[in-house]
Amino acid sequence: MGRAATRLPLVQALLERQGIDYEIRLTERAWHAAELAQAAASEGFGVVVAAGGDGTVNEAINGLMAGAAGGDHAPALATLGVGRGNDFAYGAGIPLRLEAAVSALAAGKERRIDVGRVTGGDYPQGRYFGNGIGIGFDTIVGLEAARLKHVHGFLGYVVGALKTFMAFPPAPGISLEHDGGRHGGKSHQISIMNGRRMGGTFFMAPAAEMDDGLLDLCMAAELNRREMAALIVAYTKGTQASHPKISQYRSTRFHVEAPEGGLAVHADGETICRNGSALTVECFPSALRLVGVDGSRQ
């Protein structure tokens, strides 16, 4: 469970204070949260609560979607942000403070949200995501940060960004298809979002809604280092739309090809591929019930 394990006594105390009937199952390895969520579906649980960061939530969503595809009863999803990143919760309207999230869970307010699926790279069968996928610069930064043995969290991301800036890999040539047409050119960074924020700081789609049946794409053309640095600052404010090298689209489906390869891709922070050549990203409208939303944000 990593960092989440240290919060377990507090989580239990808060659940009991709210009178919530629960059963705790701890993850032991990668993809175990997906297996537990799918098992909960087959066992008839009403709600699956993912207590962790965005990676844990991603696995839980994949398990619930797999259970639903197999014809099992589909539990609702709830999240308690006790991991490093809570971008999904931010976009979905779930309180970020643990105490407030448990109170919202007890209140039981529900909403239906869309789910995305990316197909390609290491996942020819597809992998679902709740928040969004990144293609290019931010994925490379994340891969660099993951290689660091003694630096973690936001500082690790900073170090990874500095290393990526020094190397500054070239922008691959891409072809992009969506509901409104087809575009080509070189791109250093593409985000396809269901939620609004990535990395706890970067508002890649500040106007995105998780229940509109659409995914929001933000694409940066080929950039130099100065332009990239300026855009990173803009992302933290969500003001990148006015930049001349930014394109934005909304669509039910996107297809991205890089004939010569070079697509580094993550979904909710989980690596999809390091050097891919083709991806298809689709929106599944209202595919998931979410419990524990903050009514004041809806």
- What is the tens place of the pLDDT at every residue in 255-276? 999 999 889 999 999 999 999 9
Work out the average pLDDT over 32-40: 96
* 117 touches 281 (CB < 8 A): yes
Please report the pLDDT score of residue 2 as a whole number. Answer: 58
Domains 2-113+287-297 and 119-285 share a fold: no
Give the count of beta carbons closer than 10 Å to the beta carbon of residue 20.
14
Q: What is the rounded CA–CA span in Å between residue 152 and residue 184?
A: 36
Please report the pLDDT score of residue 3 as a whole number. Answer: 64
pLDDT in tens, 129-163: 999 999 999 899 888 887 887 777 667 778 888 88
Please report the pLDDT score of residue 240 as a whole number. Answer: 97
Given the candidates 3.20.20.100, 3.40.50.10330, 3.40.630.40, 3.90.1300.10, the CATH classification of the domain at 2-113+287-297 is: 3.40.50.10330
Please report the pLDDT score of residue 294 as a whole number. Answer: 86
Give the per-residue SS3 of the chain.
CHHHHHHHHHHHHHHHHCCCCCCCCCCCCCCHHHHHHHHHHHHCCCEEEEEECHHHHHHHHHHHHHHHHCCCCCCEEEEEECCCCCHHHHHHCCCCCHHHHHHHHHHCCEEEEEEEEEEECCEEEEEEECCEEEEEHHHHHHHHHHHCCCCCHHHHHHHHHHHHHHHCCCCCEEEEEECCEEEEEEEEEEEEECCCCECCCECCCCCCCCCCCCEEEEEEECCCHHHHHHHHHHHHHCCHHHCCCEEEEEECEEEEECCCCCEEEEECCEEEEEEECEEEEEEEEEEEEEECCCHHHC
Q: What is the rounded CA–CA span in Å between residue 263 and residue 271?
A: 11
Nearest to 279 by CA among 260, 249, 258, 248: 258
pLDDT in tens, 154-192: 677 788 888 898 999 999 999 999 999 999 999 999 999
**pLDDT band for position 42 (cuts 50, 70, 90):** confident
- Answer with the residue of higher pLDDT: 161 or 109: 109
**Residue ranges per structural domain of the chain:** 2-113+287-297, 119-285
- Answer with the residue of higher pLDDT: 148 or 295: 148
Please report the pLDDT score of residue 295 as a whole number. Answer: 58
pLDDT in tens, 200-256: 889 999 999 999 999 999 999 999 999 999 999 999 999 999 999 999 999 999 999
Average pLDDT over the chain, rounded to whole? Answer: 93
User: pTM of this prediction?
Assistant: 0.94
**pLDDT band for position 72 (cuts 50, 70, 90):** confident
pLDDT in tens, 20-32: 999 999 999 999 9
**pLDDT band for position 296 (cuts 50, 70, 90):** low
Residue 1: pLDDT above 80?
A: no
Please report the pLDDT score of residue 71 as a whole number. Answer: 78
Q: What is the rounded CA–CA span in Å between residue 278 and residue 256?
A: 6
Residue 298: pLDDT above 80?
A: no
Given the candidates 2.20.28.10, 3.40.50.970, 1.20.1250.20, 2.60.200.40, the CATH classification of the domain at 119-285 is: 2.60.200.40
Q: What is the rounded CA–CA span in Å between residue 169 and residue 136?
A: 9
Rg of the chain taking only CA atoms, in angstroms: 19
